[in-house]
């Protein structure tokens, strides 16, 4: 599908032409059943173009007011054959006859119903630091947060491998690495670690907001800073640290330098971006802004240079496993883990490699890959994730393995949107004959039966009888007259 | 317009029977009772055949042609012939000439066959959205079946009801009757063993039915000549 066709689609939707429905056929690589040995590291120009087109298409669909249903399906051999047939008949301009290309597409699905306001599930894991002589609550806390849910034009296809599957995977791997260090009291740091998997990301980080509001005052005050993880999966080597406090702030400087120093070693670049918060504006573009509104120092680490608009970069159609680079995720995990560790153990500026590759503390590629694969197979739009969804249970169990205390919080999403159910349906394509064909057939059959009748009358009763069938009334008239 | 298609296929399948009844002198002599009785005998034979098939035949998974199974099916097919014999000879008819008796019996037989084998698939299938040629072909097959049934009834009446037949013709009569009665086995061999498509099989059936009708007509008229 080229730019030309996207324009045609845009016009069609813009002009509000009445249609029965709109069916988009996505290339096979977007299907979760498609197994391709080439990973996301290949830079194929065709893929780039496809990616851009899909981003635009999704933006168009999300913001347009469409009065007919829009369906997404994947190309396969059978539907390709049907499509070729339809194109061929369209080109020759013949009307549909019995055997050539009259197709009827039927989607059998019940009327969509309104869903109850969605539940957001926030999962938090707590790794306590090494208590000195006092209470562990007096130890400072570092929070590492990632939102795990997605949003897209087609909820059943919104797997969000990059936004924010990569963030979730990074958080789990960092939790695993630090749990290894914190197991042994000799290597336990003097910071508590709070890991948070939040929901409600696409909706102005509503889940994070409610999670923070539920915090104990003391806990909130003990948070030194929070790092929010958001999208590391693209191949570029540049990451951005987004902050709300001005960059001149000493603390922000310290955090940024910590990241910057490690970045050079990991072959990445980290830049600093400052975005002021406007309290009156309900739009929350980054997760750290929810922390900042409650006076907690926070920053978001992301590959996105600019703040996304509402419902943008929320893991839609185009955000597929095949476009995600695992190497980029490994590097980012190493970056965050190393920076955090140096801060916790007071090793800033020293030439130390805590999470060295191939060591027992190295980033585990198969762990990252298997979680990324799982997340890329599971659509995670919040209204369709129940409280006991297998994925949520799995993430909770995983955090239970790595952390000491796990809490699950259920909140209701504020009523910004109304959701309707029905994310999956079956499409039936029938080859049908036109009405003219039926009429023609009736004509043929009628004449066949009449001929048969005449033939039988002639052979068994004689030709005179046949003629007499038509001449009976006049002969009677003659008689009476 | 799928009810339309159902209507079309229905008149193709069942129309000829009605036309045959009204066009020939059968309607004048009111042989409807005979036809109805023949239809009931057909139902009885179908039931017996079903029971025999269920008892003696083992269901094979593949759709290939198994000679032993097909032989067994052909033998069971002869129950058909027995049923026809019963209908022709044993049922008490009013005083109808032999000429009309076999026609009425054949008609009733073919009508019952069509209704039993073709009405249900037609009702369920032809009303659907998807268009296939199958039901039209099935209708043509019903037509061929009508001709074949009437020919078989004619040959049967020659074999069992007519006592004075010219000696030379007897083997031919039996040969023709044999061919007509084994038609089901032949068609299933063509479809499974040789892999013909449904359309080709129906064409073959139509051709054979016309040929057999011609032969039986000739045989019937030559047998009638000495007594006339």
ipTM, 2 dp: 0.82
Q: Residues of chain A whose pLDDT is less than 50?
A: 36-43, 475-481
Count of Cβ atoms closer than 10 Å to residue A263 Cβ? 23
State whether residue A433 sits within 8 Å of chain B by CB: yes
Q: Which of A409, A418, A416, A415 is nearest to A208 (CA)?
A: A409
For chain B, the structural domain boundaries read 2-227
Rounded-to-integer distance, Cα A236 and Cα A71, Å = 33
Backbone angles phi, psi at A249, to 5 degrees: -55, 135
B136, closest residue in chain A (CA to CA): A441
Q: Which of A144, A137, A215, A192 is nearest to A409 (CA)?
A: A215
State whether residue A360 sits within 8 Å of chain B by CB: no
Rounded-to-integer distance, Cα A102 and Cα A121, Å = 48
Backbone angles phi, psi at B41, to 5 degrees: -60, -40
Residue with tokens 């066959």: B113
Interface test with B, best of A82, A103, A441 (most B CBs within 10 A): A441
Q: Measure the CA angle with vertex A390, ends A384 and A396; round to 5°.
A: 110
State whether residue A4 sits within 8 Å of chain B by CB: no
- What pLDDT score was predicted for residue B227? 47
Q: Tally the C-alpha atoms within 13 A of residue A267's C-alpha that lie toward its C-beta.
A: 7
Interface test with B, best of A106, A431, A433, A450 (most B CBs within 10 A): A433
Rounded-to-integer distance, Cα A184 and Cα A179, Å = 9
* Digitized pLDDT (tens) for each residue of chain B, 228 residues in all: 578 888 888 888 888 888 888 877 766 666 777 788 888 888 888 888 888 878 776 666 555 666 777 777 777 777 777 777 777 777 656 666 677 777 888 888 888 888 888 888 888 877 777 778 888 888 898 999 888 888 888 887 777 776 666 777 777 777 877 787 778 778 877 777 777 788 888 888 888 888 888 888 888 777 766 544
State whether residue A443 sits within 8 Å of chain B by CB: no
State whether residue B11 sits within 8 Å of chain A by CB: yes
Residues of A in contact with B140 (CB under 8 A): none
Q: What percent of chain A has pLDDT over 70?
A: 89
State whether residue A460 sits within 8 Å of chain B by CB: yes
Residues of A in contact with B107 (CB under 8 A): none
Interface test with B, best of A432, A436, A439 (most B CBs within 10 A): A432
**Is the pTM here over 0.90, yes or no?**
no
Residues of A in contact with B130 (CB under 8 A): 430-432
State whether residue A442 sits within 8 Å of chain B by CB: yes
CB-nearest to A442 from B8, B22, B25 is B8
User: Are the beta carbons of A148 and A196 closer than 8 angstroms?
Assistant: no
Do A433 and B129 count as a contact with CB atoms less than 8 A apart? no
Residues of B in contact with A452 (CB under 8 A): 16, 19-20, 23
SS3 readout for chain A:
CCHHHHHHHHHHHHCCCCCCCEEEEECHHHCCCCCCCCCCCCCCHHHHHHHHHHHHHHHHHHHCCCCCCEEEEECCHHHHHHHHHHHHHHHHCCCCCCCCCCEEEEEECCCCCECCCCEEEEEEEEECCCCCCCCHHHCCEEEEEEECCECCCCHHHCCCHHHHHHHHHHHHHHHHHHHHHHHCHHHCCCCEEEEEEECCCCCCCHHHHHHHHCCCHHHHHHEEEEEEEECCCCCCCEEEEEECCCCCCHHHHHHHHHHHHHHHHHCCEEEEEECCCCCCCCCCCCCHHHHHHCCCCEEEEECCCCCCCCCCCCCCCCCCHHHCCHHHHHHHHHHHHHHHHHHHCCCCCCCCCCCCCCCCCCCCHHHHHHHHHHHHHCCCEHHHCCCCCHHHHHHHHHHHHHCCEEEEEEEECCCCCCCECCCCCEEEEEECCCHHHHHHHHHHHHHHHHHHHHHHHHHHHCHHHHHHHHHHHHHHHHHHC
- What pLDDT score was predicted for residue B62? 58
- What pLDDT score was predicted for residue A173? 93
Q: Burial, B173: exposed, middle or buried (Cβ in 10 Å; 0-12, 13-18, 19+)?
A: buried
Backbone angles phi, psi at A277, to 5 degrees: -90, 140
Q: Tally the C-alpha atoms within 13 A of residue B80's C-alpha that lie toward its C-beta.
A: 24
Rounded-to-integer distance, Cα B143 and Cα B117, Å = 13
- What pLDDT score was predicted for residue B27? 66
- What pLDDT score was predicted for residue B148? 87
Residues of A in contact with B20 (CB under 8 A): 452, 456
CB-nearest to A456 from B5, B7, B20 is B20
Do A452 and B24 count as a contact with CB atoms less than 8 A apart? no
Rounded-to-integer distance, Cα A407 and Cα A122, Å = 8
B11, closest residue in chain A (CA to CA): A445
State whether residue A440 sits within 8 Å of chain B by CB: no
- What pLDDT score was predicted for residue A137? 56
Is the dihedral angle over the CA atoms B23, B28, B33, B37 positive or is it negative? negative
Do A433 and B11 count as a contact with CB atoms less than 8 A apart? no
Count of Cβ atoms closer than 10 Å to residue A9 Cβ? 17
State whether residue B130 sits within 8 Å of chain A by CB: yes
CB-nearest to A431 from B11, B20, B131 is B131
- What pLDDT score was predicted for residue A39? 39
Residue with tokens 């947060």: A145
- What pLDDT score was predicted for residue A45? 60
A454, closest residue in chain B (CA to CA): B23
Distance from CA of B176 to the nearest CA of A (A): 23
Do B131 and A460 count as a contact with CB atoms less than 8 A apart? no
Q: Tally the C-alpha atoms within 13 A of residue B57's C-alpha that lie toward its C-beta.
A: 21
Interface of B with A in 134-153 (CB under 8 A): 136
Q: Measure the CA angle with vertex B44, ends B41 and B49; round to 5°.
A: 125
Do A449 and B25 count as a contact with CB atoms less than 8 A apart? no
Interface of A with B in 79-138 (CB under 8 A): 98, 102, 104, 106
Rounded-to-integer distance, Cα A462 and Cα B220, Å = 19
Residues of B in contact with A442 (CB under 8 A): 4, 7-8
Rounded-to-integer distance, Cα A202 and Cα B31, Å = 81
């Amino acid at each position: 599908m080229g730019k030309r066709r996207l324009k045609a689609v845009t016009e069609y939707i813009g002009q509000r032409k009445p249609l029965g429905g709109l069916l988009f056929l996505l290339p096979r690589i977007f299907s979760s059943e498609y197994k391709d040995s080439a990973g996301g590291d290949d830079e194929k120009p065709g893929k780039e173009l496809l990616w851009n087109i899909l981003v635009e298409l999704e933006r168009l669909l999300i913001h347009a007011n469409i009065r007919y249903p829009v369906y997404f399906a994947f190309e396969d051999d059978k539907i390709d054959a049907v499509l070729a047939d339809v194109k061929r008949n369209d080109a020759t301009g013949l009307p549909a006859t019995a055997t050539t290309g009259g197709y009827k597409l039927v989607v059998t699905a019940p009327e969509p119903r309104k869903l109850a306001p969605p539940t957001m599930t926030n999962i938090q894991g707590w790794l306590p630091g090494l208590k000195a002589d006092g209470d562990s609550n007096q130890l400072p806390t570092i929070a590492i947060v990632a939102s795990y849910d997605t949003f897209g034009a087609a909820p059943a296809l919104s797997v969000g491998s990059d936004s924010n599957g990569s963030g979730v995977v990074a958080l789990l791997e960092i939790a695993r690495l630090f749990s290894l260090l914190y197991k042994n009291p000799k290597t336990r740091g003097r910071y508590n670690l709070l890991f948070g998997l939040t929901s409600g990301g696409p909706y102005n980080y509503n889940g994070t907001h409610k999670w923070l509001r539920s915090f104990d005052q003391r806990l909130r005050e003990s948070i030194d800073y929070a790092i929010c993880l958001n999208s590391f999966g693209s191949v570029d080597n540049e990451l951005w640290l987004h902050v709300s406090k001005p960059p001149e702030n000493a603390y922000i400087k310290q955090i940024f330098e910590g990241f910057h120093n490690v970045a050079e070693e990991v072959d990445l670049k980290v830049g600093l971006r400052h975005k002021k918060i406007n309290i009156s504006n309900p739009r929350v573009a980054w997760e750290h802004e929810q922390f900042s509104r409650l006076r907690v120092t926070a920053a978001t680490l992301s590959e996105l240079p600019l703040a996304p608009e509402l419902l943008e970069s929320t893991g839609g159609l185009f955000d597929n496993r095949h476009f995600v680079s695992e190497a980029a995720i490994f590097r980012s995990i190493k970056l965050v883990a190393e920076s955090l560790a140096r801060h916790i153990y007071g090793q800033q500026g020293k030439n130390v490699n805590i999470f060295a590759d191939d060591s027992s503390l190295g980033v585990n590629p198969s762990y990252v890959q298997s979680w990324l694969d799982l997340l890329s197979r599971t659509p995670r739009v919040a209204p369709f994730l129940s409280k006991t969804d297998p994925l949520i249970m799995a993430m909770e169990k995983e955090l239970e393995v790595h952390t000491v205390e796990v809490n699950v919080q259920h909140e209701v999403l504020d009523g910004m949107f109304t959701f309707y159910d029905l994310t999956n349906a079956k499409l039936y394509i029938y080859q049908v004959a036109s009405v003219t064909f039926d009429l023609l057939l009736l004509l043929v059959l009628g004449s066949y039966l009449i001929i048969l009748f005449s033939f039988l009358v002639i052979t068994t009763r004689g030709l005179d009888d046949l003629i007499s069938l038509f001449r009976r009334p006049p002969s009677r008239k003659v008689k009476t007259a | 317009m799928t009810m339309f298609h159902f209507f079309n296929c229905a008149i193709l399948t069942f129309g000829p029977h009605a036309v045959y009844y009204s066009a020939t002198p059968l309607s004048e002599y009111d042989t409807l009772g005979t036809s109805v009785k023949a239809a009931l005998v057909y139902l009885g034979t179908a039931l017996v055949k079903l029971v025999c098939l269920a008892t003696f035949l083992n269901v094979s998974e593949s759709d290939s042609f198994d000679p032993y199974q097909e032989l067994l099916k052909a033998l069971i097919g002869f129950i058909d012939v027995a049923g026809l014999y019963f209908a022709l000879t044993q049922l008490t008819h009013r005083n109808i000439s032999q000429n009309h008796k076999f026609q009425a019996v054949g008609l009733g037989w073919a009508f019952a066959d069509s209704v039993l084998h073709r009405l249900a698939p037609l009702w369920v299938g032809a009303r659907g959205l998807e268009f296939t040629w199958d039901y039209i072909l099935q209708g043509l097959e019903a037509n061929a079946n009508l001709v074949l049934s009437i020919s078989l009834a004619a040959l049967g009446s020659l074999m069992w009801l007519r006592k004075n037949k010219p000696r030379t013709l007897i083997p031919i009569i039996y040969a023709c009757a044999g061919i007509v009665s084994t038609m089901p086995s032949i068609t299933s061999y063509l479809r499974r063993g040789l892999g013909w498509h449904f359309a080709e099989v129906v064409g073959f059936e139509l051709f054979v039915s016309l040929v057999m009708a011609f032969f039986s007509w000739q045989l019937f008229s030559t047998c009638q000549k000495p007594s006339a």
